[in-house]
Structure 1
Amino acid sequence: MLKKITRLQCTKKKCLMLLFLLMVLPLTAQDKPELSIGGALRFNYNLSSWKDGQKKRGGDFGYDVFRINAKGAYKGILMNAEYRLYSEGFGGGMLKQGWLGYNINEQDQIQVGLTQVPFGIQQYNSHNWFFNLAYYVGLEDDHDMGIKYMHSSEKFEYQLAFFKNAEELRFGNNSENSTSRYSYDVTGRNKEVNQFNGKFIYKFGEKSASRVGVSVEYGGLYNLDTEEVGNHAAFAAHYELTKGKWNAKAQFIAATNNPENAIGESDDVVTMSAYGAPYEVAADFNMYTLGISRNVPVEYGPITNLQFYNDFGFMQKKTAGFTDSYMNVTGVLISAGNVYTYVDYAAGYNHSWLGGNFVDDFAKGNPDAKWEARFNINIGYYF
């Protein structure tokens, strides 16, 4: 009897030791630092209707960007960074994003640093290489410095964020923000400060997945001359539908900027910058965007999918005498292994990057402007 009890106790000890090892080993593995490196190299060909010299030589083909992506995790702390190196004419090197994060649980996460602003359809409110109009006024794929809380469940998603300011590179007492930045922000004599964002999404449907939501944004505009704080605000209602090979994105935005400028400076426009170049944007506007795409699986050498799309944007400026802006991009994304190629025909009316006068197309504009277009091929290898 004593031998049986001793054997039983030993068996229990072995079971307890085995259970302990099963519990500890996964935790030990999680303590090991994890790091993954990726990136992309992209080249670009373009032929623009408003560039006579370029048309005579059949367009230009050259370097677009080289980027490095790094993701890490250690003891529950996450890291995500992306650095891009453009040519000098497009701003040179810049950090697109760089944040530290922590997963509170499977549904909730906190991010701190240069992180994407929760506003509108994300990650992108477009399908093409050029984005849509919202990007050019800082309301698509924008990244700012702050803290963000994210919740995602089966039916609901919401995000709350506070951003101390946009990307700050100079840290001087009265230094203007650098124009070498990936996403558009207010620059010049005004700085974005103390911005609050909230975003809510309701998800429904099975065969047809729908995401309907609203976004709000409110923050200050600190003027370097008057040392007073104005404000800026934006509201968006958005809907995204995915059904089989189809995807559709629809969004409405109302935005206003109220800077406390020096005497003699117009309050009807704000200066915004990205890629090393500033331009003016109407202070008050409504914006309407609509995009649709369809995937077509193929088997042609390394090519496995063609995504055809059309993205349209309309910027309705509220200031009397300002001319509205339009944008439409028709194209196809060709997927071939690690190579992704955008073939776009981008047309714009009073669009700073699509002909006309770069400085004030998104502000006052030109009532005598005509539609201009750019045929563009962007080839990227992603690793």
Structure 2
Amino acid sequence: MILTSKTLCFYIATIISYGVFSQDKPEVNLGGALRFNYNLSSWKDGQKKRGGDFGYDFFRINTKAKYKGVKLNAEYRFYSKSFGGGMLKQGWIGYDFNAQNNLQMGLTQVPFGITQYNSHNWFFGINYYLGMEDDHDMGIKFSHKGVNWEYALAFFKNAEELNFGSNSDVSDSRYSYDVGSIDFDGDGNLDYRNKEVNQVNAKINYLFSGKTAKHKLGASTQYGGLYNLDTENMGSHYAIAMHYELFVGHFDVKAQLSRYKYNPENPLGEASNVIAMTAYGAPYLVASEGSTYTLGAAYNIPVKWHPVSSIQIYNDFGYINKNESDFENTLMNVTGALITAGNVYTYVDFAAGKNQPWLGPVWTDALAAGTANANWEIRFNINIGYYF
């Protein structure tokens, strides 16, 4: 089913009318955002001659509803066709047992690592590009938030499923990165055809405070199946992480160490030291085993420059140590500022990377084999969004 803007408006109107006529004083809220993007990349000669490009990023619709503890939360995004087109970022039905305990079912955020984001900048951190930051999958999640302890338990049947055939490949039109398929050799047939299935997650945080600082120390784990569409055999994958957050006044720090491994049951002759991952309409290869290290810090400066109310300066660093000895490791660093002016949020980023597909000329192999002696590539990026 293709969700057009007209169909989406019909669904929204149906939700609102249901609240008005069938429920006793429900809460229904609509919101969204419109964003534009400017970027200038060191590896794009034509773009440098033009002085960069400025254009459309996305338009999104957010719907939230609540009645007698039962909640709805959905976000649908409209990107350009080349960037994946329309896609559901999240969409779940939830129930609040009380102020501390919540249940969500549907396309909901995976409880792994620092959430909601393990980064401060517009590009996210390096874990995002491996499907380990702000990932959303289809399943059910229980969350508890207490004074000193937070924990979450979840089961995900699969990632976003748009095609329900016996051996349907994962769609490239998605917000968060998931294991998928890729036409690696250009022969018109997809390769490395795997799917994430039957994944379990557990996460726990301990919150404690000193005289001036607040701390959050936690651990996460996930384990699931990896179904190959060609061999019809089940492989496996897992990831574990330790994470820490520090809050002191206007200053905060985010640090995380993660370990992941994919064990695909690929056809004979197809390498098992890489997997395909996909999002935004374009898949690439990723090393099937490695460790990631991330560290980010930010400082928020309140100002009174009408309409600007605050400027947050930050630096986020990420490193992937790939297990394969002849694979080149990946580095990523983003230095920037978030400027808040009313409902307008502007990210100004200097993003640098080595063997990072979004920050360099090599797409398919950057997160897999990579390029020996790769240069640091830089992208200057400004993202301007009005959120309502």
TM-score normalized by the length of structure 1: 0.92
2:130 aligned residue: 137
Distance in 2 (alpha carbons) for counterparts of 1:118 and 1:65: 26
Separation (CA, whole Å) in 2 of partners of 1:266 and 1:356: 24
1:273 partner amino acid: T
Does the CA contact (< 8 Å) of 2:276 and 2:284 recur in 1? yes
CA distance in 2, matches of 1:93, 1:281: 25
Contact 2:77 2:88 in 1 (8 A): yes
Among 190, 195, 209, which residue is 2:194 paired with? 190
> Could you give the per-residue CA deviations for residues 298-328 of structure 1, whole angstroms, max 9, x where no partner exists?
1112011000000000000001200000000
Q: Is the counterpart of residue 355 in structure 1 residue 355 in structure 2?
A: no
Q: Which runs of 4+ in 1 moved over 4 A?
A: none
After superposition, residues 41-190 of structure 1 pair within 5 angstroms as 41-188=34-181, 189-190=193-194
1:1-383 equivalences in 2 (<5 Å)? 31-188=24-181, 189-206=193-210, 207-383=212-388
Q: Conserved in 2, the CA contact under 8 Å of 1:284 and 1:319?
A: yes
Q: Distance in 1 between matches of 2:148 and 2:59?
A: 38
Q: How many angstroms does 1:77 deviate by?
A: 1.0
Paired position in structure 1 for 2:15: none
For residues 85 and 209 of structure 1, what CA distance do their matches in structure 2 show?
Answer: 38
- Equivalent position amino acid for 2:130 in 1: V
Q: SS at 1:266's partner residue?
A: coil
Tell me, in whole angstroms, the C-alpha distance in 2 between the residues paired with 1:301 and 1:153: 38
Shift of 1:209: 1.1
Q: Distance in 1 between matches of 2:99 and 2:263?
A: 40
Unaligned runs of 5+ in 2: 1-22, 182-192
Instruction: Give the aligned length.
Output: 354
Deviations, residues 65-92 of structure 1 (Å, cap 9, x unaligned) = 1001110012321000000001111101
Q: Is 2:69–2:97's contact at 8 Å kept on the other side of the alignment?
A: no
Give, in whole Å, the separation in 2 of the partners of 1:356 and 1:269.
20
What are the superposed Cα offsets for residues 146-205 of structure 1, whole Å, 9 maximum, x if unpaired?
000000100000000000000000111111010000000000110000000000000000
Gaps in structure 1 of 5+ consecutive residues: 1-29
| Rg (Cα) greater in structure | 1
RMSD of aligned C-alpha atoms? 0.8
SS at match of 1:362: coil
SS of the aligned residue for 1:89 comes to helix
Structure 1 partner of 2:19: none
Residue 172 of structure 1: SS of its match in structure 2?
A: coil
Aligned residue type for 1:271: A
Equivalent residue letter for 1:191? K
Cα shift readout 1:87-113 (whole Å, capped 9, x = no counterpart): 111101000000000011111110000
Matched-pair contact (CA < 8 Å) for 1:342–1:379: yes
Identity of aligned residues (%): 63
